[in-house]
Amino acid sequence: MNPTKKHLLVIPSIDIKDGKTVRVVQGIPELDCKEYGNDPVEMAMLWRAENAKMLHVVDFDGAIDLSRKNLEIIKNICSSVIIPVEFAGGIRSIEDANLYFDAGVARITINTMALENKNLFIKLFEKFGPSKIVLSLDILDDELITRGRQKKTGLNYLSFAKEIAEIGIERCIVTDVKRNGSVQGPNIYYSKEIAINTKMKVTHSGGIRNKDELIDLQELLHIGIDSVIIGRAFYENRFPCQKLWRVAESGLFN
């Protein structure tokens, strides 16, 4: 194995609503208690036990109605695992960002603020920098949607990505909302277009259903797609998690 060879980072997603772990299909959360129970903190510890290197945590209450009722859960997740936690969910101000950084999250993902208040987004980015701020692009039929995937913006995803990349953003999360939680296979077109045309690093999200599709994404490392968020496929045991981490770490994605 070549120790310098880079490999796709696989990031489990923990989606939270009303204090419970949920599965999300096209932006609509539903309670997930079939496989692992519904405690987000226990879920975080499970993924860490399975040797995950990062977690992606989404607060749907925060994203949709700006509620902070899950803040203590976020704090408990961050204090329960030693790996970085990436957070998404209703950050609309610099004060909100401070709140979650103080709670222990390693970086935050921004969607609505970037789309609706670019000047504030620039101030946020200038304060915290590219290692702490990630742009999240939720795409529906080439159009960006926002406010917890509830509102269409009329903005073309690629035009906006090119514009926002100019301020120095280094990473974005790209989600085809139609494929999110569908386990129907990923639409990598959007991720490829953004990576190639903006030179940002891209975390792909949505549609992954098996190890072969991870290997397909691994082949796109050279254009900047270096990580993937997986939710429902993990919760439905689409592949053995422990085996997945071993494969990713042993360099078998060749």
Is the pLDDT at 165 greater than 90? The verdict is yes
User: Which residue, chain included where needed, has tokens 């510890």?
Assistant: 45
Is the pLDDT at 95 greater than 50? The verdict is yes
Is the pLDDT at 199 greater than 80? The verdict is yes
User: Which residue, chain included where needed, has tokens 């060749």?
Assistant: 254
Tokens of 118: 């670019």
Give the residue among 225, 52, 205 at the shortest CA–CA distance from 139.
Answer: 205
Most trustworthy range by pLDDT among 95-99, 138-142, 146-150? 95-99
| 3-state DSSP of 53-110 | CCEEEEEHHHHHHCCCCCHHHHHHHHHHCCCCEEEECCCCCHHHHHHHHHHCCCEEEE
Q: Angle 173-84-195 (CA atoms, 0-180°, nearest 5)?
A: 25
Contact 31, 38 (CB under 8 A): yes
% residues pLDDT > 90 (the chain) = 55
Arithmetic mean of pLDDT, 129-157: 88
Is the pLDDT at 60 greater than 50? The verdict is yes
Rg (alpha carbons) of the chain, rounded to whole number:
17
Q: Where are the alpha helices (DSSP H) in the chain?
A: 40-49, 60-65, 71-80, 94-103, 112-116, 118-128, 157-165, 189-198, 211-218, 232-235, 241-250
Tokens of 93: 């101000």
Select from 3.20.20.70, 3.40.50.300, 2.40.50.100, 2.40.30.160 the CATH code of 9-250: 3.20.20.70
**How does residue 252 score in pLDDT terms, banded at 50, 70 and 90?**
very low
Sign of CA dihedral 51, 90, 22, 224: negative
Is the pLDDT at 89 greater than 50? The verdict is yes
Active site residues: 15, 138
Is the pLDDT at 66 greater than 50? The verdict is yes
Q: Angle 25-164-196 (CA atoms, 0-180°, nearest 5)?
A: 75
